[in-house]
Amino acid sequence: MWRYVEMLNPHWFGERDPDLERWEKSKIRWIPKWLKQISLEPFSLNFVLGARRVGKTTGLKLLIRELIERGEKPERIIYVDIDLIPSLEHFQDILFWITSENYRYVFLDEVTSLENWWKPVKGFIDAGRFRNSVLVISGSVSIRLKRQAELFPGRMGRGNVVNVLPLSFPEYFELSSLPPKTENLVKKFSEYLSTGGFPASINEDKNCVRDFISAFESEILKAGLSVEIAFKILHSLLGKIPSALSYQSIAGDIGVDHKTVRNYLEVFENMFLIKVAYWKQGTKVSLRKEKKIFFRDPFILRSFSLWTGVEFLKSALYENVVQEHLYRRFGEIYYYRNGYEIDCIAGDLKVEVKAGKPHRRYPKRILVLDEEDIPRFLIELFRHDEV
C-alpha cells in the first residue's frame, strides 16, 4: 500500500507529476476557474463533479502544485486515485492510514469507481478523523445519480459542491487574448463549434473521441445499464434534435418502453452530457408535453455523432450551444411552441436560433439570432453576468 501511495504523490520527493507534464506540453492550456470554488480552510469537505475527460484530475494536480508554491509542505498533501483501489476494505485501510498521518489536504479522485465509497468516508468524518483537514472528493455520474453528496448533511464544514463543465465559448475566446472584434469572434466561434470545451479536443488529441466514448461506456456499465440501449437511444435522439420530442417517440424507434428511455436520459443528464428543456408559457411549465433535449458541449454532440454514425443538423449544433449558455447564465432553460416556436426561454430572455437568416417575422419581444449573431450574443451574455 505504501508503494502505491508513493507512486501517486511524486510531489513528496520533488519529482514531476506525469499529468502536469502532459498539461505543460499542451499547445493550449489554462488554470481552471473552478479551482477557486474549492474551500481550503479546515474542516472542509468539497465535492468536485463533472463528466469524464473534462479535466478534473489535472485541475486537482494543478491545485496541489499551487498549494506547494504557496509554501505548504508537500508531505502534508496526499492524492489517491480510487480507480486503482480493488476493494472497499483496501479503501478503509488507506483512509485509516491517511487520518493517522494527519494530512492537511486529502484528495480522493474518482471515488465513484468504488461501490459504497461514501460509507467509510462518512464514518471517518463522524469520528472526527478529518477535523483538521481539507477533503476534496471527485467523481462523476453516481454521486449525482444516487445523490451521494446529500448523504453528508452537516458534514461538509466549509466545503462546497463544485460542478466542472467544459469551457464555455466566452472562456474559450478568452484563451486567445484577441480583441472581441466581429471577425475574431466569428473565427474563434467556428473553432469552438469543432472542438467544444474539452481540453483534449481543444488540443487536437487524436484519441479524444475514442477515450471519451470509452469513459462513457464505463460509466453506463457502472450505473447498471446497457451500453447497447444507450447507443440506440442516442442514435434516435441525434436524428430528432433540435425538434421537440417525446420519450415515446424514442421508445418506438428502438423497441423499449418510455420509462426506460426516461431513465437513460436522466443518467445522461447526471453525467453532464445532456439537458432537458421543458415547455413553458408565462409561469406555466409542462412536464408532460414534448421536450427539447440538447447536448451540453459541441464535443459531446460530435463524439456521439461519430459513435452512432448519425449526422446532426447544423441548426441543432447552434441551438444546443445557445441553450447551454443560457442555462449556465440563468440556471434554467425552457422552450415554447404554439403557432410559432421559441427555442430558448431563460430569465427574461426569449431567443429563437436560426442556422441561416430567418424567413419569417417574430414578435418584438423575441430575440432572433442567426449564426453570425451568436458569438457576440454569448460574449455579451456573460459580460452582463460579471457586471
Q: What is the residue extent of each domain of the chain?
A: 2-164, 169-386
Task: Specify the CATH class of 2-164 in words.
Answer: alpha beta
User: What does the pLDDT read at residue 358?
Assistant: 59
CB atoms within 10 A of CB 163: 13
Q: What is the rounded CA–CA span in Å between residue 105 and residue 133? A: 6
Amino acid symbol at 291: K
User: What does the pLDDT read at residue 307?
Assistant: 98
Residue 329, C-alpha cell as written in the block: 447564465
- CA 216 from centre of chain: 12
Residues found in the chain: 387
User: What does the pLDDT read at residue 387?
Assistant: 37
User: What does the pLDDT read at residue 290?
Assistant: 97
Equal CATH topology for 2-164 and 169-386: no
pLDDT tens, position by position, 157-213: 999 999 999 999 999 999 999 999 999 999 999 999 999 999 999 999 999 999 999
Do the beta carbons of residue 209 and residue 309 sit within 8 Å?
no
Amino acid symbol at 217: E
Residue 79, C-alpha cell as written in the block: 492524492
CATH numeric code, 169-386: 1.10.10.10
**Cα dist. 129→39, 43, 112, 151, 311 in Å?**
18, 10, 22, 18, 53
Q: What is the pLDDT along the chain (387 residues), one digit of tens a residue?
A: 667 789 999 999 999 999 999 999 999 999 999 999 999 999 999 999 999 899 999 999 999 999 999 999 999 999 999 988 889 999 999 999 999 998 999 999 989 888 889 999 999 999 999 999 999 999 876 666 567 777 888 999 999 999 999 999 999 999 999 999 999 999 999 999 999 999 999 999 999 999 999 999 998 998 899 999 999 999 999 999 999 999 999 999 999 999 999 999 999 999 999 999 999 999 999 999 999 999 999 999 999 999 999 999 999 999 999 999 999 999 999 999 887 889 999 999 999 998 766 556 777 889 999 999 999 999 999 885 543
